[in-house]
Amino acid sequence: MGAARYNRQIILKGFGEEAQQKLLRAKVLVIGAGGLGCPALQYLAAAGIGHIGIIDDDAISLSNLHRQILFTTADIGKLKVEVAAKRLQEMNPQIGIIRHPIRLQKNNTLDILSRYDYILDGTDNFESRYLISDACALLNKPLIFAAVSGFEGQLAIFNVPDQLTPGTNYRDLFPVPPGKDEVPNCSENGIIGVLPGILGTMAAAETIKLIAKVGLPLTNRILNYNLLTQEQYTISITHGKGYVIPKTVDEFLNMDYQDTSEGPQGYIEIDAAELVKLQQSESTILIDVRERHEVPVLDKQIFTQVPMSEFGAFIGKEFYQKNVVLICQHGVRSVAAAEAMQEKYGDSKKIYSLKGGIIKWRDHFLKS
């Protein structure tokens, strides 16, 4: 059955059974199940990468769907890692999928990355890119890097030497992280959905080439792609100066990776005490976004139940309250709902999400 699944690759001249076995033995970690990660994951799974790890702590929101086509409208509010793993396993039940529903931080990055042979960076913020690049350099892990902005994308492979140059890294391109306001993110600058699809697929192709040892991977080169003109070109990367890469675990843990990911998010996460204060206002609506079968059941005279499966229809309706407090079981779906409401209502309403959800504040709700 395995040979039949990969037959079109195995019979390819210059690929063959040996290359396929290398894919099946490989362990690849994809960081970010977003616009870049989704297509990369699909093609890596279909190609027969034996072990695929997925890191993402985010939930699916409505604004993701135009570019993250591994997900559907019915998935809004669910964790990306869980939905992606389920779909990929259905696509190819012969491979292993490892879920990491967390955010990479200094205290967990080295441990997680050390478990994999190849790292694919599909993140969308500079904090994560420098963190991942430094960790890969310290661990000597090949890093496949992809990024998009506006109508353009970039692709490179770091930490892999070629005949002329020792392995380069992300800091050879950008020695110093930009400030928070210097480079707009997708939510500010916009993105056409097909662009990360193209770059994510190309990143999967580079990963496969690197593992199978076929073709000429983009080691020590960066490819620049322009969607509007369909032009692309590559530039050689040389070792730069003026930056420091940690050489030990202690040095890594003492590095300062400032968060440049978002800036103001438009909604506010609150605790139970703040919820009670807001509840006193007549202009506050408390919305429970859990599905109708979930427990504990909340007082329907106080909380309006709008399950995430019905949320798209709800945010199209008008209501008078200015303060909107969203709650769920763990505080994940409520964040996705808050993002969706922020997109719909902007500054016309104040949007809040109960941090940690009912599970964290269960005693409070049971006493109320």
Closest CA to 345 of 325, 312, 322: 322
pLDDT of residue 337: 85
Residue 326 in any domain: the answer is: yes
Residues 222, 82, single domain; the answer is yes
CA distances from 12 to 8, 21, 136, 208, 287 (A): 6, 14, 32, 14, 55
Residues 220, 94, single domain; the answer is yes
Residues 64, 154, single domain; the answer is yes
What pLDDT digit, counting tens, does each position of 262-273 carry? Answer: 444 578 888 888
Residues 188, 284, single domain; the answer is no
pLDDT of residue 261: 44
Question: What is the average per-residue pLDDT within 199-210?
Answer: 98
What pLDDT digit, counting tens, does each position of 277-295 carry? Answer: 888 888 999 999 998 988 8
Q: Output 51 or 361, whichever has higher pLDDT.
A: 51
Residue 259 in any domain: the answer is: no
What pLDDT digit, counting tens, does each position of 4-48 carry? Answer: 999 999 999 999 999 999 999 999 999 999 999 999 999 999 999
Residue 262 in any domain: the answer is: no
Q: Output 189 or 285, whichever has higher pLDDT.
A: 285
Q: How many helices (H) and strands (E) does the chain have?
A: 16, 13
Please state which of the ranges 185-189, 202-206, 284-288 shows the lowest mean pLDDT. Answer: 185-189
Q: Which two tokens stand for residue 100?
A: 């990491």
Last residue of a domain, one of 197, 229, 253: 253
> What is the model's pTM?
0.72
Question: What is the average per-residue pLDDT within 238-242?
Answer: 80
Q: How far apart are the C-alpha atoms of 223 and 232, rounded to whole Å?
A: 7
Question: What is the average per-residue pLDDT within 146-164?
Answer: 89
Residue 132 in any domain: the answer is: yes
pLDDT of residue 231: 95
Closest CA to 26 of 200, 156, 215, 213: 213
Instruction: Please provide the average confidence, as pLDDT, over all residues in the chain.
Output: 88
Closest CA to 46 of 20, 65, 64: 20
pLDDT of residue 338: 87
Single-letter amino acid, residue 179: G
How many domains does the chain fold into?
A: 2
pLDDT-above-90 percentage for the chain:
57
CA distances from 1 to 14, 28, 149, 178 (A): 22, 23, 41, 50
Q: How far apart are the C-alpha atoms of 109 and 145, rounded to whole Å?
A: 16
Residues 169, 96, single domain; the answer is yes
User: DSSP readout, 59-122?
Assistant: BP-GGGTTT-TT--GGGTTSBHHHHHHHHHHHH-TTSEEEEE-S---HHHHHHHHTT-SEEEE-
Question: What is the average per-residue pLDDT within 325-349?
Answer: 84
1 pLDDT tier (thresholds 50, 70, 90)? low
Q: Which residue matches tokens 């059941």?
A: 297
Residues 272, 160, single domain; the answer is no
Residue 246 predicted with pLDDT over 60: yes
H or E, element range at 362: helix 362-367
CATH of the domain at 41: 3.40.50.720
Residue 187 predicted with pLDDT over 60: no
Residues 90, 231, single domain; the answer is yes
pLDDT of residue 22: 97
pLDDT of residue 174: 85
Q: Output 169 or 360, whichever has higher pLDDT.
A: 169
Residues 33, 114, single domain; the answer is yes
CA distances from 27 to 13, 222, 251 (A): 24, 24, 27
Residue 258 in any domain: the answer is: no
Last residue of a domain, one of 195, 226, 253: 253
Last residue of a domain, one of 253, 285, 317: 253
Summarize the chain as % helix, strand, coil (round to 5). 40, 20, 40
Q: Which two tokens stand for residue 338?
A: 């808050």
How many CB atoms neighbour CB 224 within 10 A? 14
Q: Output 316 or 24, whichever has higher pLDDT.
A: 24
Contact 268, 350 (CB under 8 A): yes
Residues 279, 186, single domain; the answer is no
Q: Output 128 or 162, whichever has higher pLDDT.
A: 128
pLDDT of residue 264: 43
pLDDT of residue 332: 79
Span between the terminal Cα atoms of the chain, in Å: 58
Residue 136 in any domain: the answer is: yes
Residue 14 in any domain: the answer is: yes
54 Cβ contact partners less than 8 Å away, ≥ 6 residues apart = 29, 30, 33, 37, 41, 81, 84, 85, 97, 98, 99, 100
Residues 15, 108, single domain; the answer is yes
The full length of the chain comes to 368
pLDDT of residue 260: 43
Q: How far apart are the C-alpha atoms of 165 and 320, rounded to whole Å?
A: 63
Residues 294, 246, single domain; the answer is no
CATH of the domain at 282: 3.40.250.10
Residue 154 in any domain: the answer is: yes
Residues 226, 349, single domain; the answer is no
What pLDDT digit, counting tens, does each position of 93-114 carry? Answer: 999 999 998 888 888 999 999 9
Owning domain of residue 281: 268-367
- Residue 107 sits at φ, ψ, to 5 deg, of -80, -5
183 pLDDT tier (thresholds 50, 70, 90)? low
Q: Output 70 or 77, whichever has higher pLDDT.
A: 70
pLDDT of residue 179: 63
